[in-house]
Amino acid sequence: MGVFTHADQALEWRGGPEIVRIEPWGPGSLRVRGTVWEEIRDDMPGALLPAEPVPAAVEIGWTRLASPTAD
């Protein structure tokens, strides 16, 4: 089972050696990165243009899911 955390405007999921990070990357856009290393590195080359600053907030909480009952 993994753990969700946040740093700045990014949402991260960590499970074992795996990390998945989702972060805003301009209006209506997200950047998704993953690794099996200790951290996601920002010094690696990429194909995306520089991010446009956008207001974003990460909120982590508990949600209860329930299936509907049949009549």
Share of the chain above pLDDT 70, in %: 89
Q: Does residue 17 lie within any of the structural domains? A: yes
With vertex at residue 67, the alpha carbon angle to CA 65 and CA 69, rounded to the nearest 5 degrees, is 145
Q: Does residue 31 lie within any of the structural domains? A: yes
* 14: containing domain: 3-35
Q: Does residue 68 lie within any of the structural domains? A: no
Q: Does residue 63 lie within any of the structural domains? A: no
Residue 8 predicted with pLDDT over 80? yes
Q: Does residue 14 lie within any of the structural domains? A: yes
How far apart (Å, rounded) are the C-alpha atoms in residues 28 and 39?
26
Phi, psi of 19 (to 5 degrees): -135, 135
Each residue of 14-46: pLDDT tens digit? 999 999 999 999 888 999 999 998 888 888 888
pLDDT score for 22: 94
Q: List Cβ neighbours of 35 (8 Å cut-off, separation of 6 or more).
A: 18, 19, 41
Residue 69 predicted with pLDDT over 70? no
11 near 3, Cβ under 8 Å? no
Name the pTM for this structure. 0.75
User: Side chain identity at 35, as an amino acid letter?
Assistant: T
Number of domains in the chain: 1
Q: Does residue 20 lie within any of the structural domains? A: yes
pLDDT score for 71: 47
DSSP 8-state symbol, 54 = -
